Chains A and B, each alone.
Chain A
Amino acid sequence: MTSITKELETVEFRERLDAESAIPVLVFLASGVLWLLVGSALGIIASIKLHAPDWLATIPQLTFGRVRPAHLDVVAYGWASLAGVGCLIWLTSRLCKTPIRQRGALIASAALWNLGVLYGTGAVLFGYSQGVEWLEYPLPAAAIIAVAFLLFAWSILSTFHARQAEHLYVSLWYVIASVVWFPILFVVANLPIYSGVEHAAVNWWYGHNALAIWFTPIGLALAYYMIPKVIGRPIYSYYLSLLGFWSFALFYNWNGIHHLVGGPVPTWLQTISIIASVLMVIPVMAVAVNHHMTTIGHFKLLRTSPTLRFTVFGAMCYTAVSFQGSAEALRNTQEVVHFTHYTVGHAHLGVYAFLSMILFGSMYYIIPRVTAWDWPRPGAIRLHFWLAALGISLYFLALTIGGWLQGMAMNNPAEPFVNVVAGTRGWLILRSIGGSMMGLGHLVFAFLFFEMLWRAGPRRGASPWEDAK
């Protein structure tokens, strides 16, 4: 047995795995990067409109009510999903120790997925949104994406079925779980059969679960792989991995209704979702301790490995955003922050500071292995990191402080509403600055990415600022 395991670890074997997954991985990653640029542009436009409301106000397609959901959909279904799928394909093949299966299905999936996002986003911009947050895409677009997802799931499950690995590493638990959970969630939530309060409840059951059982597993699967891989030591504790995964599976799916605290939803439903949100402390603590104890003593690698730097930043933000979320679900906090910019800050701490940073980190690791090219320009990678990290920090702080003050002011009956609105202006401008820094970082990253695709840029070979010597 051990000789086979050794065999599976050889350079030749990994060369083959990478070679077989290269095309699907690159197709998904390239689509993701393009959607990232589109999504950033939409996000920055929406952000600026909040403090300069007359800007572009005469073009119906670019009014706030359309640009803002279009931004969300593009970054969620375009960037994060496509880049996430690209990374998961590579990861699954590596962890199952077998070449990726159903490559044709994957290419079809990428094509359909892009079509779905293009169609859905176009529909939103031209006024054919379903008007339900996170589920704006009209049914045909959603159906296309559902088919694309099933094709992807088919490939992952076939690969899993053909696995040669003896032990299922924790990352794989998350991948397999999300690949089974998400299609069910997506289809059920899109059924055109809900109305009224019930629709609102399904809406947020979906909205939060899109994060809970799709985006978060992507981020955690990648973090669980990249951190020990780059450092070169096992993950700290199998028992923590188990506790983290099962409590995550048990509690996270109940969280959604905390978006409706104070709304006309049965009290017990709100209470249960608050409880589940607080119980998320358990899986988050388990993951945080596991990652921290693995990294401890190796923090100096953050200086030389872009993968580790981005991934550890993301993993720390996972802990932060989750603890914040547990506190935010409580009724007392909701009284202040509901309907304020604070919530938007929280959302970006999750999808950007946690998920997107881990996606960047993983892509810095994966892309050289599927292009056979070393990243050129370490300086540009550093620039990307600092633009993204400082940009999201400014963004988050501005909306968190500004949103809290906004909530306090809204609760004060003596304060006229327009004063409250005017009071958010400065914070919103800071947010636009933070968002633009992130956008600039994405341009740098996209430039590097396409250099890699062309195998262009200075040849470096082994040098500092690279992953694991």
Chain B
Amino acid sequence: MKILVAVKQVAALEEDFEIRADGKDVDEDFMLYDLNEWDDYSLEEAMKIKESSDVEVEVVVVSVGPDRVDESLRKCLAKGADRAIRVWDDSAEGSDAIVVGRILTEVIKKEAPDMVFAGVQSSDQAYASTGISIASYLNWPHAAVVADLQYKPGDNKAVVRRELEGGLLQEVEINCPAVLTIQLGINKPRYASLRGIKQAATKPIEEVSLGDLSLTANDVGAANSMSRVRRMYVPEKGRATMIEGTLAEQAAKIIQIINEFKGA
């Protein structure tokens, strides 16, 4: 039994940042990298299944990205993942979420897991489509925004609850193997202590090239993606007004503004 968890190292911005010279992204100097928050939850969900199972469950984490991603993979290993795989080739720079999904799909074909988990979305790009594109490439059933999962290794069906708008939950029965994108709050991710991360350094991270996956530079990268970033910029600041007057006057003014916004 094997669960594959697709993870991403995301960038957080420092308070004051600058846009890269080509105008398409933030200057890397101002980014702090960390494991995507959603992936903490999907990995935890896999770990829970592993730890409560009578049969052997292998949890494999996979990520597409450069060397720096090893740090996040090591965090996953520290939390208990059995193996980590990182796919990279410089030509993959600029790949959109669908292409990343394609690359991951090739890994999944080789690994042949029984379940694939991914986060609902990444906190930096927020396309929310990597997991779904995997399902599409594999032609597997999928469920998105999973807030609860009932599944035991070996089951040929899983019952998931999906989070919908307006506080609704939808309970879905899904055939396995399946791709699930996991929502925040489904569990309480464990803390990876720094000692744990350090000790995980002895677990190897498999580096996989495009060639190993029968892909070429012509399959990946910005040029081969169906969407490309044209520019990244900080929009003009919105309006701000200083409201003067007595407390009562200020309150009246605020009510007026709110009503205007509501279109009343």
A and B interact = no
- Measuring CB to CB, which residues of chain A are less than 8 angstroms from any residue of chain B? none
Residue numbers of B with Cβ under 8 A of A are none
